[in-house]
Structure 1
Amino acid sequence: MITTMPSANLPTFTLAELAKNHSSKKSCYVTMGTKVYDITEFLPDHPGGDDLILDYAGKDITEIIGDPQSHVHSDAAYEILDESLVGFLSSDDTPRPANGSANGSTNGVAKKSSVPNGKPTYEATGMSTAEDLSVETDIGNDFKTHKFIDLNKPMFMQVWRGRFSKEFYLKQVHRPRHYKGGDSAPLFGNFLEPLSKTAWWVVPTLWLPCISYGVWMASQGLSRENIAICFFSGIAIWTLVEYCLHRFLFHLDDYLPDNNVAITLHFLLHGIHHYLPMDRYRLVMPPTLFIVLATPFWKLAHTLFRSNWYVGTAVFCGGIFGYVCYDLTHYFLHHKKLPSFYQELKKYHLQHHFADYENGFGVTSRFWDRVFGTELPPLPQKSA
């Protein structure tokens, strides 16, 4: 095995130095064998959330990155590390493998490719694992190769003027890219650009006061017990609405008309999320789009419960609260470390992105996927 020795162009670090100066969000270094990597810039893009990496800041990650029970890391993860090499451990701190060899590779844990025979594991997306979602796309080469969208230019007009066939568009939009040129790839490139981007905290800040006001209005004509029944009924109804919207509106793929207007609308509504799934400012619904989609449900709730306006209002408020939970869950599944239950949900949702976008439509729950037969199968276990 070839051993990489310290280079004259790269510094050496001691473990004490790493623990003291490079174990925080501002400067996060990790080691693997003798090598030291600066992964500070990768923290926001880690599919498992930055907290998971920060637990190992200033420490060796050999065991965790090669642990099949924790998570199977693809070649992309190792490529990110290779690009982040900043130095080596000092000779005094060089780890000694149990077999007595002096190399500092991976303590006997082999790096296995999850892209066998040079072909992607999942042909529909061109990806193998969740880590692939965060590998920076070579924007220039990607555009030259696929002739789809140049991420250096506003995307909307490229889709509108592209005259793409439905078959070509669906194939490209479901092969995720990762933009690292700034906060988000430009969509409109003009005064409409801010309307297309929404920080996750805007959702609870904007809509929870509205929900509270609606509940107060309903309390003028309903008892607390009836409000609670109506409110939780609204949440339960939302889970079905969430599934139906995701499956039959956002993924209208097979039934999408093969024309420019339909393709552009599809891209704006959900295609952009599958094209750039790790864009943190286009993960939750912009308020303007939410109002457009919520208005028919307000009218529907008060049509179904027209005999009692207060009941319709309480049910609607419960549904909107369910939506808020959905949007926050969706954001955290992509970008945050979550409790064990949600870790499984995270794996499930990211599988929808990198493996099979035609199934797995539940975001906050798998329940309706199980009912309607669209549940994603467990991912194959791969040994490290």
Structure 2
Amino acid sequence: MPTTVSDLTLSTTTINTMSNGKIVQIQSEELQQQANHVQIHTFNRNFLNKNKKEAQFIVKYRNKYYDIERFVRNHPGGVNTLRGLYDGDMTTRFLHAPPHSDAAMYLMKEYEIKPQLIQLQNGVKRRHHLQPIPIDREQEQTLDAATSLNGVELIADAGQEDKNNNQLDESMEHLVDWSKAMVPQISHITRYYDEWVHKPVDRPLRLFGPSYLEVFTRTPWWLIPLFWIPVISNCIWDEYTEKWSTASMSRLMIFAINFIAGTIFWTLLEYMLHRFVFHMKINANTKPWLCTFHFVIHGLHHKVPFDSKRLVFPPLPGVIIATVIYKPISFLLPYPRIVLAGALLGYICYDLMHYYLHYGNPSLQRTRFMYHMKRYHYQHHFAHQDMGYGISSPLWDMVFNTRIHLRQLRFPLRWR
């Protein structure tokens, strides 16, 4: 039975009758140790219980506590791999799991539960660098022992060396102020931008200060088909009424070929944009405006990958890109609007599929292709940012040798 404060009645002395009848008063070191044990144990459990009022999934890793409730369904490894970790010590399982990437370890810091007691450094409260009041080694061992009484699994050797990159990265979030608009700040961190933007966080992001600008940067998934399907219909109708007044089987075949060609053209364009524009190389010599441009069009998605309103492309910049692409093909192709309609349909499928890959629960049995693409895309986000540029298909990754090879799993993953 777990030991709690109510289970113990403590006294400062114990009366012990010796064999010779002499009564002696003995200071009980054992009871004193139990008192210390209960004190640490009480602090630990009260702290967790206080956080459980707001959080529902608390785990322990290397003597720190993490609330991963809002991360569970976004876990790239699925919810079933987290089974049995609730209110438990995951250190052993973590150390014996396949290696976690730098990005995954950095993200983990987002869910750490910070104790209320904070040690000030030189009397100054520093943002992002507050440290809890340290507990000495003896207290730490007592705290672990108290935790074990509640059925929490402990590692056999807490000091064992990691064999698979499971150390927590130092935070880089002091480079920016997350309480302010991000766009004006990006130009000041160009030197560190490429490393910073590939270290994901799970927190609210605001791009612009004025609300009339910010509203255009957040897009629900359903707005994409709502906006673009009428555009596609208009392109087809205009082309049909202008050149296809007398329909025939041969003309319909030409229509279908051009439409399919436009869809295939989109898959190549998707790959090229993602690889050479969205993942352009940013370094200390890059122009600050170009760094800001990169963050707005794609960098923000890698920085805050779980923001559901930033998973699809806003219509306004989408119109600009579509216009730029349409101009040259209007001079080169005989039926440019049909090709554009096919490309826009491919784009709609891409954007909706991208949203589903982040928030859907594809099944290996029923939706095998989507299941593999979800794993594929998560590998791009958290392990291989320089590979796996295909979202709707890995076709062009195979053609250009940037394909991510997924390892075989012993059991299928679930994300719900």
Q: Same fold (TM over 0.5)?
A: yes
> Deviation of residue 315 (structure 1)?
0.6
CA distance in 2, matches of 1:201, 1:111: 39
Please provide the CA RMSD for this pair. 4.0
Change (3 A) 1:255 1:189: closer
**For residue 235 of structure 2, what is the aligned residue in structure 1?**
214
Contact 2:329 2:336 in 1 (8 A): yes
1:316 to partner: Cα distance: 0.8
Kept in 2, the 8 Å contact 1:360–1:369? The answer is yes
Pick closer, same or farther for the CA change 1:266–1:216 going to 2, 3 Å: same
Residues 326/348 of structure 1: CA separation in 2 closer, same or farther (3 Å cut): same
Shift of 1:259: 2.3
Mark the CA change 1:145 to 1:47 in structure 2 (over 3 Å): closer, same or farther.
closer
Query: Does the alignment pair 1:122 with 2:101?
Result: yes
Structure 2 matches for 1:171-182, cutoff 5 A? 171-179=195-203
The AA in structure 2 aligned to 1:352 is: H
Contact 1:369 1:375 in 2 (8 A): yes
Q: 1: CA distance between counterparts of 2:332 and 2:284?
A: 30
- Match of residue 214, structure 2, among 193, 211, 215: 193
Larger Rg over CA atoms? 2
Unmatched segments (≥5 aa) in structure 2? 7-41, 46-54, 60-66, 115-126, 131-169, 245-250, 412-416
Contact 2:282–2:291 (CA<8 Å) still a contact in 1? no
Residues 295/136 of structure 1: CA separation in 2 closer, same or farther (3 Å cut): farther
Structure with more contact order per residue of length (Cα contacts < 8 Å, sep ≥ 6): 1
Partner SS for 2:101: coil
* Match 2:74 to one of 46, 59, 79: 46
Q: Do the aligned partners of 1:273 and 1:282 also contact (CA within 8 Å) in 2?
A: yes
Residue 152 of structure 1: aligned partner: 179
Asked whether the 8 Å contact 1:45–1:134 carries over to 2, the reply is no
The TM-score, its normalising length taken from structure 2, stands at 0.61
1:169 aligns with 2:193: yes
* Equivalent residue number for residue 305 of structure 2: 277
What is the CA-CA distance between 1:136 and the residue it aligns to?
Answer: 4.0
Equivalent position amino acid for 1:321 in 2? L
- TM-score normalised by structure 1 residue count: 0.66
Equivalent residues of 1:48, 1:334 under 8 A apart: no
Distance in 2, Cα, partners of 1:254 & 1:185: 21
For the residues of structure 2 that align with 1:256 and 1:239, how far apart are their CA atoms?
Answer: 32
The verdict on how the C-alpha distance between 1:282 and 1:134 changes in structure 2, with shifts beyond 3 A counting, is farther
Q: CA shift at 1:121, angstroms?
A: 3.5
Equivalent-residue separation in structure 2 for 1:216 and 1:5 (angstroms): 75
SS of residue paired to 2:385:
coil
Structure 1 alignment gaps of length 5 or more: 11-27, 33-38, 54-63, 68-76, 86-104
CA contact (8 A) 2:193 2:283 kept: no
* 1:322 counterpart (346, 349, 355): 346
SS in structure 2 opposite 1:113?
helix
Quick one: structure 1 residues 353 and 237, their matched pair in 2 at CA, closer, same or farther if it must change by over 3 Å? Answer: same
Answer whether contact 1:186 1:193 (CA < 8 A) is retained. yes
CA distance in structure 2 between the aligned counterparts of 1:258 and 1:138, rounded to whole angstroms: 37
1:113 aligns with 2:92: no
Q: Where does residue 406 of structure 2 map in the other structure? A: 378
Amino acid in the other structure paired with 2:225: P
Match of 2:128 in 1: 141
Structure 1 contact 250–269 (Cα < 8 Å) conserved: yes
CA distance in 2, matches of 1:314, 1:7: 75
- CA shift, 1:245, in A, is 0.3
Instruction: Tell me the number of residue pairs that the alignment of Structure 1 and Structure 2 aligns.
Output: 295
Distance 1:355 1:304, change over 3 A: same
Q: Is the 8 A contact 1:204 1:324 kept in 2?
A: yes
Distance 1:4 1:299, change over 3 A: farther
Kindly, what percent of the aligned residue pairs are identical? Answer: 30
Give the aligned residue type for 1:337: N
